[in-house]
């Protein structure tokens, strides 16, 4: 594991809008199979970071490498994404939602109509059904998203993303809109899938305890430098990069972090679970 090449490398990445510096001096590397939880106060650049990874925004300086090559400038199949909401297509059943990734093919019918025919179609259906089974939605295959609960919709969104076997999976507060009980089930599901499919995951969360429970590594985004006259002058960095060990009591680690000096936002962010 130790001599493995990193899957994602950030070399001195900055993001600025005019004079407003959002992110500065990000130098990070992530190995395949890591689960990075990203926490931080709102407005500290978590979402900007996700947009950089997704490809909807480009770094002002520095570079982001995926498998040693610069990340392409628009979203593609190497990146899977699950948003808090609107990740699934309301006009398709769960099964159709899962088949869509295969149907965006380079075959003739795929290029003309975005559909598959014959054997390719039944193969896609089989793959989609297998994945739906894995996330516990086999019984809901023919239902539309509006007939599914919030948790089921997120399961569907995850299934849809995983079917493309992305190099990295981006989760943007995926469980933020769910009830606590359902959130716990989802934690179980995503943990299992991560282990089983050897995923590399970046998850943004508002919930500090969620970040500690799920990840193998925790990043805290915060501003190290403050200019009271011009708050936009300095950007956020990763102020803590904590490896998490689930055999240890992660709650202890979290309590340490919350009480650390120099993390004023963190205490307000969330209380320990």
Partner 1 sequence: MTRIINRTPNRYGRILLGILPFAILLLFYLSASDARLAENPNDKLLPAFSSFAEAIERMAFEPSKRTGEYLMWQDTGASLARLAMGVGISGLIGLIIGIGNGMVPYMRSPLSPLVTALSLIPPMAILPILFIVFGLGELSKVVLIVIGISPIIIRDLQLRTDALPNEQLLKAQTLGGNSWQIIVRVVLPQIMPRLIEAVRLTLGSAWLFLIAAEAIAATEGLGYRIFLVRRYLSMDVILPYVLWITALAFAMDWSLKRLSLLAFPWYHKEQGSRDD
Q: Which residues sit at the interface with partner 1, rule CB under 8 A?
A: 54, 56, 74-77, 79-81, 83, 85-92, 100-101, 103-104, 110-111, 113-115, 144-147, 157, 160-161, 164, 166
- What letters, b where the CB count within 10 A reaches 16 and e where it falls short, cover 19-55? eebbbbebebebebbbbbbbbbbeebbbbbbbbbbbb
**Smallest separation, CB 229 to partner 1 (Å):** 35
Q: Which is nearer to partner 1, 132 or 218 (CB)?
A: 132
**Smallest separation, CB 108 to partner 1 (Å):** 12
Q: Which two tokens stand for residue 96?
A: 């159709």
**Smallest separation, CB 80 to partner 1 (Å):** 6
Q: Which is nearer to partner 1, 14 or 104 (CB)?
A: 104
**Smallest separation, CB 273 to partner 1 (Å):** 28
Q: Which is nearer to partner 1, 84 or 237 (CB)?
A: 84
Q: Which is nearer to partner 1, 82 or 257 (CB)?
A: 82
Paired sense of beta strands 6-17 and 20-31, if any: antiparallel
- What letters, b where the CB count within 10 A reaches 16 and e where it falls short, cover 166-203? bbbbbbbbbbbebeeebbeebeebbbebbeeeebbbbb
């Amino acid at each position: 594991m130790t001599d493995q090449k990193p899957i994602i490398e950030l070399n001195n990445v900055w993001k600025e809008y005019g004079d407003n510096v959002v992110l500065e001096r990000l130098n990070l590397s992530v190995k395949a199979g890591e689960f990075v939880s990203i926490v931080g106060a709102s407005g500290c650049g978590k979402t900007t970071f996700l947009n950089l990874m997704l490809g909807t925004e480009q770094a002002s300086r520095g570079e982001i490498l995926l498998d040693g090559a610069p990340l392409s400038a628009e979203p593609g199949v190497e990146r899977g994404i699950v948003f808090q909401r609107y990740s699934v297509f309301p006009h398709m059943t769960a099964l159709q939602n899962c088949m869509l990734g295969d149907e965006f093919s380079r075959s003739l019918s795929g290029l003309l109509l975005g559909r598959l025919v014959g054997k390719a179609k039944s193969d896609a259906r089989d793959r989609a059904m297998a994945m739906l089974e894995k996330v516990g939605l086999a019984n809901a295959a023919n239902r539309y998203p509006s007939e599914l609960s919030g948790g089921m919709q997120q399961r569907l969104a995850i299934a849809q993303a995983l079917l493309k076997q992305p190099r990295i999976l981006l989760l943007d507060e995926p469980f933020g809109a769910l009830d606590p009980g359902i959130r716990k089930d989802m934690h179980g599901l995503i943990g299992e899938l991560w282990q089983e499919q050897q995923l590399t995951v970046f998850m943004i969360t508002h919930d500090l305890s969620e970040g500690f429970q799920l990840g193998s590594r925790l990043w805290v985004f915060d501003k190290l430098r403050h200019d009271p006259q011009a708050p936009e002058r300095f950007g956020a960095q990763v102020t803590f990069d904590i490896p998490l060990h689930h055999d240890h009591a992660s709650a202890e680690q979290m309590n340490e972090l919350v009480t650390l000096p120099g993390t004023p936002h963190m205490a307000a962010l969330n209380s320990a679970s």
